[in-house]
Structure formats: structure tokens, C-alpha cells
A and B are shown apart, each in its own frame.
Chain A
Amino acid sequence: MTSLYDEVAPTPAADVPTRRITLNVNGEDRTVDVEPRLLLAHLIRQGLKMTGTHTGCDTTNCGACTILFEGRPIKSCTMLAVQADGHNIETVEGMASASELHPIQEGFKEEHGLHCGFCTPGMMLAAKALLAENPDPTEDEIRWALSGNLCRCTGYQNIVKSVLWAAKKMRAESN
């Protein structure tokens, strides 16, 4: 977050207190000043300029903004950015390495687990949390674990297949 200069806004928003926080995003420490009311999802999208995390609803239902917070899936629209101070988060941008996709990403492509792609990052991270705990889930366990994430396009059947595909590959890799 360095710049050569910062322009002073001509009409500074009156007396808005901000807090300086440091959070680790996909393995990298980031320090930002935020207003307490800023939602974590908005910090990620606008402040950190990682737009893979989407905001789909106002009511904590859709799960398009799902990220991993200390490894657990959370809806980042329902957490304040200040609450991430000192914590690790992972977004979809952190899933693939420079050279390789994560098996879950591969699974979604192989099994046609997405159409419009809007719910996909949240779905994949929810799936990642599931597979970390349960490397060999049944179809029902996958459906249950993903029931906090809405998809409007696919009908879910191929999402389930995508996760099964990834689970199989991850088990093979760990053996």
C-alpha cells in the first residue's frame, strides 16, 4: 500500500475515526486503515482489490462472500474488517499456486460445477474447509456442508461431483 504521495481530499469526511489493522491475506501481511463499519468483504474487494470474493445478498444467506478465517469458512459480509486484525484469511485468489490450480478448482472445471461463476469462489472455499476435515465425504455430506452457499445456475449436482472429483485427487496426492 505504498504510493509516492497521497492527495488530501478537498472535503475530508468530517472526523471519521479509523483504525489501523494488520491481517494476513493468503500468506501475506497487509496493513490498512479502516473505518469500523467497513465490512470485511468490502475491505477485501475494494481495499485489497481482490474481487474474487463477491457480495450477493444483504442478509447473510447467499455465501458468495465466503472466505476462510483462520481456516474456518465465514461469510465475509457479516464480519467487520476491524475484526480481522491479527488474523489469517484466505480468499479464492490464494487457492492456486503460481503454476498449479488447487484440485478443487480443477474439479469445478472438470465436472462443470459452475455456469455464471458468481457463487463459485465461495463454494470452493466452503468445499476446501469441508475436505480439510473430511477428506472422503459422501454426496450427502457435501450437500450438507455447502448448504450455506446458494447457486442459481447449476442445480448443485455438478458442484457435488466437482467436490467428489477434488476429494479423490487430493486423497491420491496425499498417499
Chain B
Amino acid sequence: MYPSRFGYEAPKTVEEAIAILDAHGGEAKILAGGQSLVPMMKLRFASPEMLVDLNTIAGLDFHRVDADGSIHIGALCRHEDLEKSEVIKKSQPTIAAAASLVADPIVRARGTFVGSVCHADPQGDWAAALTALGGHIVAQGPKGTRDIAMKDFVIGPFQNTLAFNEIAIEAVIPAPKGIARGGYLKLERRVGDFATASVAVSLDMVGDTVARAGIALAGVGGRTIDATAAASVLNGKKLTAENISLAAAAVAAAAEPRTDHRGSADYKRQIVKTFVERILTGLATPSQKAA
């Protein structure tokens, strides 16, 4: 309940924040929503020397859809902003479905999307969703910005590829090739529980045909599982019952679950398979279902 001592800076610009990170050579941590970091500090699982608070930097709390259809989510965009967002509801069904399943409503009012992705919790919802969407992180460091694709961003449990003096200032979801469809299902034992297993699905549809399928999983591996390769069996196909089962089986095979008190590895795989089937079946148009 009582964090260790640390230094605290509340910079006014991203550049200032980067300079502070740079000066502390890896001993400083970024504080955005703080809904994962502060609990870890209270339990003293984390004891950073310096906290760099982004909350005093103006202009990072945005989320918007650009003219090209890409979606941009700023470093201080809270979960709740996405949950209540009309533009997200209209344009990004995977994010819309996941937004209300992140943590609990009070945590959602403070926690941030980008912070959650950076936290790289293997059970985290947003890292899975952004991976399924083929998104990337915009990282800003002393030498400018670079884009890091999600598949290269999360490399292990609670590990991302940001340099110590870089800040993830934005997450980007690329414009869909066609119509964006998708869904998110999570098996949690109660609100605020971590995922026993969850499945994020993103489909770009052209007519009845899948132009691009992205699927990612949380809770069933040592890190966010990118099952996009397995989902690619759907590319160029229609969402027939047969194709759905093929995809579900392939995605379930890509999961790397461990047996623990939440269930056996086999059980978690079964959940993945069921959730993939349920999301895809829900997305299939009536004519496809009939086929």
C-alpha cells in the first residue's frame, strides 16, 4: 500500500519528458494512467527511481479517424474515452467490443490505451486488439519518431521494444482494406479479472470476402499471441461454416496456454476455438451462414 521513494517530474512537452528519461538512463518510468504501474509500486513489485508523468502534457488525450480511414489514439486517451466514443462505435468494431471489457469502469476512467499496450501484460486486452488490427506504435525519442509494428513491439511478458528514452506517443490502426468488421470475447470470472483467455478478431471485408484477417489472443501464452498467420486461412475466403472451423482450429493451435488454477491448457485452447467460432459466426452475413 506504500510505494518506495521516487523522484517525480511533470513535464509540459514530450521533448522535455524525453530529456528526463534520457538523463536517467533507464531508471525512469513513464506514468500515464498508472492503473498497472501504481498498483505494482504499492506492492513494491516496481520501485522506479524517477516517474515522468505525461498527464501534464497537453494534446495527448485524442483519438480520431483520419481521412484515409486510419485511427490514431494518443498516449493519454483513456479506456473510457474509447468505450464512449461515437467514432469508434461507427468505425472500429474490435476496439468497440473490447473497450467495455478492459478492467472495471473506474479503472477505465483513468487507465490509457497506449499505456496498457506498452505494459505488455500477456493477459492484456489492448495489446491483443491492436495486434489483431495490425496496428503500430509511434515512438518518439531524442532523435525523432519511429513506427513500431505490434508484431515487433511486444516481445515477452511485460516487455516491449521501446528504448529507455522513447515514449509511445500514439497508437495507429491502419485503414481497413474494405469494411472493418471484428469482435472481442473474453473469459473472465468477474468484472476486472484478468483474461483466462480472450480473442480479438479483425476482418477487412470486401463484399462477402475476407480481404485481411487478423486475430490475436490474450491469456494463453507468455505474451500476446499474434495468430494472424493462423487466421490467414480466411484471406480471400467467405465466412462459411467450414472456413470458420478451419480458422478456429488453426488459431487454437497457435495458442500457447499453460495449465494453472484458471484451467488446463486444453481448456483454454477450447475457449479460444469457441470464441473464434462465435465471433466469426456473428460476423458472417445471413447468406454466408446459409452457405
Q: Quick check: B51 and A36 within 8 Å, CB to CB? A: yes
| A75-92 residues at the B interface, CB under 8 angstroms | 75, 77-80, 82-83, 85
Given contacts A16-B5, A36-B8, A148-B191, contact A59 B106 (CB under 8 A): no
A145 to chain B, nearest CB (A): 6
Q: Quick check: A37 and B3 within 8 Å, CB to CB? A: yes
The residue that A77 contacts in the complex, of B6, B42, B192, with Cβ under 8 A, is B42
Q: Quick check: B106 and A63 within 8 Å, CB to CB? A: yes
Given contacts A36-B51, A83-B55, A126-B106, contact A59 B39 (CB under 8 A): yes
Q: Is A107 close to B, CB under 8 A?
A: no
Q: Is A160 close to B, CB under 8 A?
A: no
Using Cβ atoms and an 8 Å threshold, which residues of chain B touch A162?
Answer: none
Q: Is A72 close to B, CB under 8 A?
A: yes
Q: Quick check: B4 and A37 within 8 Å, CB to CB? A: yes
Q: Complex formed: what's the CA distance from A39 to B51 in Å? A: 14
- How many residues of A are counted as interface, with CB atoms below 8 angstroms from the partner's CB atoms? 34
Using Cβ atoms and an 8 Å threshold, which residues of chain A touch B7?
Answer: 17, 36
Using Cβ atoms and an 8 Å threshold, which residues of chain A touch B5?
Answer: 16, 35-37
| B1-36 residues at the A interface, CB under 8 angstroms | 1-8, 10, 31, 34-35
Q: Complex formed: what's the CA distance from A17 to B8 in Å? A: 10
Q: Is B53 close to A, CB under 8 A?
A: yes
The residue that A147 contacts in the complex, of B2, B4, B104, with Cβ under 8 A, is B104
Using Cβ atoms and an 8 Å threshold, which residues of chain B touch A58?
Answer: 1, 39, 42-43
Q: Is A55 close to B, CB under 8 A?
A: yes
A127 to chain B, nearest CB (A): 11
Q: Is B236 close to A, CB under 8 A?
A: no
Q: Is B109 close to A, CB under 8 A?
A: yes
Q: Is A169 close to B, CB under 8 A?
A: no
How does the 8 Å CB contact mask read for A87-118 relative to B, with 1 for contact and 0 for none? 00000000000000000000000000000000
Q: Is A152 close to B, CB under 8 A?
A: no
B284 to chain A, nearest CB (A): 28
- Shortest Cβ distance from B78 into A: residue: A72
Q: Quick check: B38 and A80 within 8 Å, CB to CB? A: yes
A91 to chain B, nearest CB (A): 15
Q: Is A121 close to B, CB under 8 A?
A: no
Q: Is B107 close to A, CB under 8 A?
A: yes
Q: Is A22 close to B, CB under 8 A?
A: no
Using Cβ atoms and an 8 Å threshold, which residues of chain B touch A60?
Answer: 35, 38-39, 107
Q: Quick check: B105 and A126 within 8 Å, CB to CB? A: yes
The residue that A79 contacts in the complex, of B6, B38, B105, B108, with Cβ under 8 A, is B38
A65 to chain B, nearest CB (A): 10
Q: Is B258 close to A, CB under 8 A?
A: no
Q: Is B110 close to A, CB under 8 A?
A: yes
Q: Complex formed: what's the CA distance from A63 to B34 in Å? A: 15
B45 to chain A, nearest CB (A): 11
Given contacts A37-B5, A58-B39, A78-B34, contact A148 B53 (CB under 8 A): no
Q: Which 9 residue pairs are nearest across A and B when measured between Cβ atoms?
A: A148-B104, A36-B8, A148-B106, A147-B191, A72-B109, A78-B38, A148-B105, A37-B3, A60-B39
Residues of A participating in the B interface, judged by any CB pair closer than 8 Å: 16-17, 19, 35-37, 39, 55, 58-61, 63, 66, 69, 72-75, 77-80, 82-83, 85, 126, 129, 144-149
> Could you jot down 30 A-B contacts, CB within 8 Å?
A36-B7, A37-B2, A37-B4, A37-B6, A39-B1, A39-B2, A39-B38, A58-B42, A60-B107, A63-B106, A73-B105, A74-B109, A74-B110, A75-B107, A78-B42, A79-B110, A80-B38, A80-B53, A83-B31, A83-B53, A85-B10, A129-B109, A145-B105, A147-B104, A147-B191, A147-B192, A148-B104, A148-B106, A148-B191, A149-B106
Extra contacts, 5 of them, besides A73-B105, A73-B109 (Cβ < 8 A), are: A39-B3, A78-B35, A78-B39, A80-B53, A126-B106
